[in-house]
Structure 1
Amino acid sequence: MKKVLSLVLVVLLLTSFTACAKTSNVGGLSNSKSVDKATDKELSIDVKGETYPLAIRDYLKNHIVLDKKPEKVAVLSGTPLNIWYDLGGKSVCTSDVSENIKLIPEYKEEIMKLPKVGAVYSVDMEAIIAEKPDLIIAQVGTQSTQAKKLKDMGFKVITTHIRGFDDVISTYKAFGKILDNTKEAERKIEELKNEKEAFVSKLPSESKSVVILYVTSKSLAVKLDNSIAGDVAKILKLKNIASDLPADTIGSETTPLDIEYIVGKNPDYVLVTSMISSNEEAKKSMENHFKSNPVWKGVKGISEGRVVYLPQEYFLYNAGPYYNEAIEYMARSVYPEVYGELTEWYGK
């Protein structure tokens, strides 16, 4: 009898522990997924509370609580920085800002004059600490390691992941609360959603297929749906022929290049994204690559001249406030008969 009672007690303790582990939370944020009730999609960042204190859970499921509006914020990457400033925020420093990031014109000069803490993928920890920020906003992936170290030092850190349209919306919503500017955030969100819907409503019934190539100074790969270009293609109901292929690593946006697979799928359009010195160099590199390998002639998107070079200001760096311009760029490139010629709009 004693053995039975002991066994029951152990089971009860384990059940209690498991339940606690599943429901642990900070400020009302559990460890389960946070979902946007309107779209049923997971939020990349979630903030609970309408006024301070605010409980925040970031993309990496880390939790922090802000008791009051932060006064010294260090935003370490261009995309969150753009959204932060668009809602009236300021930053005490940032990483080196690429010329290919499309900054909001009225804040561009101010942002470019901010103290720099090094390259986005290798920020100077001492320079950040010297600013004594009461909140640090870092970027997932390129800054995850530094973000963890800063968090371990006692700094309040949020890691952002802004790849697709829904991530932009989540970030506006979260930053609006942190900056105590929810009305402006809601206005921006409504504007972005309405503009996006205007493009989608004009889509022709017949869809096109695409492959999204990704060129760097050292390699060539194919982008998946969880990339910026993949997300825009999905919004425009384009069939990404790589959608069902496995990522090269867990969570990656790319899959290894397989030319024979691409030839077999024979996409209508070839879209090219890049992480190289400039848009011009990316185009030159890919044109040379296509010429050097005759196998590419088997892809009708190439043989029939339907290669679209996607500019880095929209497809390497998430344009945040200008995400709908990324949608428009791709829409005009693939469906000029519906949305108008690209040359009539881009750069004007």
Structure 2
Amino acid sequence: MPGIQASSAHQRRPKASRRGRFAAPASVVVLLFILVLTASLAFVSCSSSSAVAVTDLLDRAVQIDEPPVRIVTLHPTATETLYRAGGVAVGRDTSSQYPEEVLDLPTVGSAYSPSLEKVAELAPDLVIIEALTQASFVDQLEQLGVPVIAVRAASLDDVSKSLTLVAKIIDTKKTADQAIAEIQDRIDTASANAPEGKSILIFIADADQNIYAARADSYPGTVAALLGLDNLAADLQGASPYTGFAQFTPEMALQSTPDVVFTITPAPLPAPRLSQLLPMIPGFKEMPAVKEGLVVELDPVLFLQAQGPRMADAVEELLDIVNNL
């Protein structure tokens, strides 16, 4: 049935789509996309720039995602390295007693058996250990979900590397560089003033009075070498409960003629000092240096327990002793 057709002049205009009415111009869409992309890239860049990848003194690759602000140290070497590099800790092992300000920090047990529970209670975002004596702790500590790095001070190079490592993580490169330069300068000055041709032995004893001598790879052996002293036990072989030491028998003592004998007594007073006991031990009491009273007790903290940035202190103290005998 024919209907009435509307004339072309009066035909209804097609409605604009809702999308067409509200869509932004293409140029605005592109601009918004660029802004969002730029912001995203800036965020990723900022996040990645705060992350640090390092290799510690156990040759482990460690990723630090954020700058740490709650650091726990589990060894005097770790504690002193952190503070000399310009950092601070929120917890420490009981043997860490330098610098003085760490004495106010909560403790997490000894360096030999730290408490993982106490470490966790401090909510650390970084744990620093000592490489030679605490490597076995790494797996347990990492179960806390915390990055762990190891430092070491078996040599002057180790001290410098450890300071550089920690400084990279806490962003204190200038402080660490200054510390490294000062340590090197002090050791160089001491070495220039050391006597030539002076032979030594450095002894330590266990609870059964077995005597051990410091080799070249021990910390006190390293300190002596920096002064050019002739360590008669430098290449000595044998087992010992002390890192870098080897057993030294009475028979060896009878055949040794060092100019000076140094002793280290780890046990605190009132335990007798090894320097007092040597004149009563067969073989050792016959050594010329012992007979002449040229036996000097060394500070066990400086020469054994707190290996690290105070290496220059140990070098200067040893030099002072040798030059004044």
Same fold, TM exceeding 0.5?
yes
2:135 alignment counterpart: 144
2:319 alignment counterpart: 331
Deviates more, 1:229-238 or 1:162-171: 162-171
Structural mapping, 1:205-220, within 5 Å = 206-219=196-209, 220=211
1:164–1:228 contact (8 Å) kept in structure 2 = yes
Structural mapping, 1:13-162, within 5 Å = 52-97=50-95, 101=97, 103-104=98-99, 108=100, 110-162=101-153
1:318 alignment counterpart: 306
1:287 alignment counterpart: 276
1:79–1:318 contact (8 Å) kept in structure 2 = yes
Alpha-carbon distance in structure 2 between the residues aligned to 1:259 and 1:125:
43
Alpha-carbon distance in structure 1 between the residues aligned to 2:241 and 2:115:
27
Give the AA of the match of 1:116: T
Alpha-carbon distance in structure 2 between the residues aligned to 1:176 and 1:264:
47
Give the AA of the match of 2:118: A
Residue 151 of structure 1, CA deviation: 2.0
Residue 52 of structure 1, CA deviation: 4.4
1:82–1:320 contact (8 Å) kept in structure 2 = yes
Q: Give CA-to-partner distance per residue, 1:313-348, whole Å, 9 cap, x none.
A: 211223534322211111121122xxxx7xxxxxxx
Q: Do the aligned partners of residues 315 and 282 (structure 1) sit closer, same or farther apart at CA in structure 2, a change above 3 Å counting?
A: farther
SS of the residue 1:296 aligns to: coil
1:215–1:276 contact (8 Å) kept in structure 2 = no
Choose which of 256, 259, 264 in structure 2 pairs with 1:265: 256
Alpha-carbon distance in structure 1 between the residues aligned to 2:60 and 2:208:
34
RMSD: 2.3
1:217–1:275 contact (8 Å) kept in structure 2 = no
SS of the residue 2:129 aligns to: strand
Give the AA of the match of 1:144: A
Alpha-carbon distance in structure 2 between the residues aligned to 1:167 and 1:247:
24
Would you say 1:198 and 2:189 are equivalent positions? yes
Residue 251 of structure 1, CA deviation: 9.7
Q: Do the aligned partners of residues 252 and 311 (structure 1) sit closer, same or farther apart at CA in structure 2, a change above 3 Å counting?
A: closer
Would you say 1:275 and 2:275 are equivalent positions? no
Q: Do the aligned partners of residues 148 and 117 (structure 1) sit closer, same or farther apart at CA in structure 2, a change above 3 Å counting?
A: same
Residue 265 of structure 1, CA deviation: 2.8
Residue 141 of structure 1, CA deviation: 4.4
Larger radius of gyration: 2
Alpha-carbon distance in structure 2 between the residues aligned to 1:152 and 1:310:
39
1:215–1:286 contact (8 Å) kept in structure 2 = no
2:234 alignment counterpart: 243
1:36 alignment counterpart: none
Structural mapping, 1:179-198, within 5 Å = 179-198=170-189
Alpha-carbon distance in structure 2 between the residues aligned to 1:81 and 1:177:
16
Alpha-carbon distance in structure 1 between the residues aligned to 2:163 and 2:132:
20
Q: Give CA-to-partner distance per residue, 1:166-187, whole Å, 9 cap, x none.
A: 2222211112211111111111
2:275–2:297 contact (8 Å) kept in structure 1 = no
SS of the residue 2:305 aligns to: coil
2:190–2:316 contact (8 Å) kept in structure 1 = yes
Q: Do the aligned partners of residues 225 and 142 (structure 1) sit closer, same or farther apart at CA in structure 2, a change above 3 Å counting?
A: same
Give the AA of the match of 2:115: D
Alpha-carbon distance in structure 1 between the residues aligned to 2:58 and 2:178:
27
Q: Give CA-to-partner distance per residue, 1:67-105, whole Å, 9 cap, x none.
A: 33112211111222122123331212111136xx5x23x
1:23 alignment counterpart: none
How many residues matched?
276
SS of the residue 2:310 aligns to: helix
Alpha-carbon distance in structure 2 between the residues aligned to 1:179 and 1:155:
15
Q: Percent identity?
A: 26
Give the AA of the match of 1:54: V
TM-score for both structures, normalised by structure 2: 0.77
SS of the residue 1:143 aligns to: helix
Alpha-carbon distance in structure 2 between the residues aligned to 1:189 and 1:282:
37
Alpha-carbon distance in structure 1 between the residues aligned to 2:250 and 2:306:
28
Alpha-carbon distance in structure 2 between the residues aligned to 1:70 and 1:95:
19
TM-score for both structures, normalised by structure 1: 0.73
